[in-house]
Every structure is written in structure tokens, then in C-alpha cells.
């Protein structure tokens, strides 16, 4: 059984998740900012991080990567088609935050999710589910044994990911969400922003407000 802890980081209120197994090996999902503070919490909890996993490449999900890599010397993985967003992170962040920032420097970025279907954490498997739409290379992480879905910005307790960007696709997002809504009702959805929600409750909300995704 995996455990997780949610940390709300950065000016965009991004949910960063520490996920760990019984042996204390861990992964960090979406360290959107405050990398040093995240590292301090990891040390306090005596976790042993092995990798940073990104649901997508938007700046508010990656700005803490640089510090975490400097401290722990761990690799980073994300969807290949989102690599261009890392290159744009500084200008995008400055546009939204209205101030100058340092560009994130990510070493050994593994964009190989195309060939990676599972991530092993101790004896548990976390499945990589491709969920393009909000971004071209968006993914979600599903731990079937523990019943968790880390959904990034694909789906939230109160809505779906933004598709107003030039590189976004509403059609792809619809397909991605339909795929997620077919997962077992018992799982807990842990989004990139906002509160967690059970999938069964999320399905009820979608029946009321977003019925097209259930087709």
C-alpha cells in the first residue's frame, strides 16, 4: 500500500505529491515550486526519493525541479510531447506571475513515457496513462493496488483542464477524460489543483455538468 502527502506550492497553488512505499522509497509528483522546502519535508519524513514524475510541462508543475535535482541527484520524467513547454517555462511564468524568475534547469530529462507503461515503487506498480488534451504530452499516474489516480490538470473535483492554448486539444481532452472515467469507482482522484475527490462522486458530478464525457 502506497502513502501520499499533498503539498500546496507556488503562487498558482499547485498540488505536489510525495508518494512513498513501506520501505520509504518515494517519488515526487509535480514539484511546482518551493523545491528547497519540499526537500526539507522529504528529509524530515526520512523518505528516499528515487525520481521526479511530471504530469505535464507547465511551469507551475516544474519550477521546483531544479532544487530537488541539485539536492537529491534524481532523474525527471515527463511526456515527450511536453518537452517544448519546459523550454518556454520562464517566459510563461513571467507572463502569468508578472515578475522576473529564473529559468528552471532540468538535468537528464527523460521524455520516454512513450515506452514506459509502469513505474515500480518498492513492490507496487504505478501505471502511466497518456492523457493529452490540456497539453500534448500530458499523463496521469494510476496506482491500482492503492487506489490512487494522480490526474494533474486533466481533471479536477470541479472541472476539467483548460484547452484554450494553441497546443491544446478539446477533442483529445474529451477522449482522455472518458478513459479516466472508466477506471474503478473506488479510486481517489488527486488533481494538480484543488481538493481530492472519489471517482464515483466525480462521475455523478459529470453526469450533471459534463455528460458528454460519459458517452
Residues of the chain falling short of pLDDT 50: 214
Query: What are the grid coordinates assigned to 39, written together?
Result: 526537500
Write down the pTM of the prediction: 0.92
Tell me how far the alpha carbon of residue 159 is from its chain's centroid. Answer: 16
Distance CA 14, CA 16 (A): 6
Summarised one tens digit per residue, pLDDT across range 135-161 is 999 999 999 999 999 999 999 998 899
Query: What are the grid coordinates assigned to 159, written together?
Result: 472541472
In this prediction, residue 212 carries a pLDDT of 56
In this prediction, residue 131 carries a pLDDT of 97
Angle formed by the axes of helices 35-44 and 65-72, nearest 10°: 40
Give me the domains of the chain, ranges plus CATH numbers.
3-214 (3.60.15.10)
Whole-angstrom CA distances from 144 to 21, 22, 65, 189 are 14, 16, 26, 12
Whole-angstrom CA distances from 197 to 69, 74, 150, 174 are 31, 30, 11, 19
Distance CA 109, CA 86 (A): 10
Amino acid at each position: 500500500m502506497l502513502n501520499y502527502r499533498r503539498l500546496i506550492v507556488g503562487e498558482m497553488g499547485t498540488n505536489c505529491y510525495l508518494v512513498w512505499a513501506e520501505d520509504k522509497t518515494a517519488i515526487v509528483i509535480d514539484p511546482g515550486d518551493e523545491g528547497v522546502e519540499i526537500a526539507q519535508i522529504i528529509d524530515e519524513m526520512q523518505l528516499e526519493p528515487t525520481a521526479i514524475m511530471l504530469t505535464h510541462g507547465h511551469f507551475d508543475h516544474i519550477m521546483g525541479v531544479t532544487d530537488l535535482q541539485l539536492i537529491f541527484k534524481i532523474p525527471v520524467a515527463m511526456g515527450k510531447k511536453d518537452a517544448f513547454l519546459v523550454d518556454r517555462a520562464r517566459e510563461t511564468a513571467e507572463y502569468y506571475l508578472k515578475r522576473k524568475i529564473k529559468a528552471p534547469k532540468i538535468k537528464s530529462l527523460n521524455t520516454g513515457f512513450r515506452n514506459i507503461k509502469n513505474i515500480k515503487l518498492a513492490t507496487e506498480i504505478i501505471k502511466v496513462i497518456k492523457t493529452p488534451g490540456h497539453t500534448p504530452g500530458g499523463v496521469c499516474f494510476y496506482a491500482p493496488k492503492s487506489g490512487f489516480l494522480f490526474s494533474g490538470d486533466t481533471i479536477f473535483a470541479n472541472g476539467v483542464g483548460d484547452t484554450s492554448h494553441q497546443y491544446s486539444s478539446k477533442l483529445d481532452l474529451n477522449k482522455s477524460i472518458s478513459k479516466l472515467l472508466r477506471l474503478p469507482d473506488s479510486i481517489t482522484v488527486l488533481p494538480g489543483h484543488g481538493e481530492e475527490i472519489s471517482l464515483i462522486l466525480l462521475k455523478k458530478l459529470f453526469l450533471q455538468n459534463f455528460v458528454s464525457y460519459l458517452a
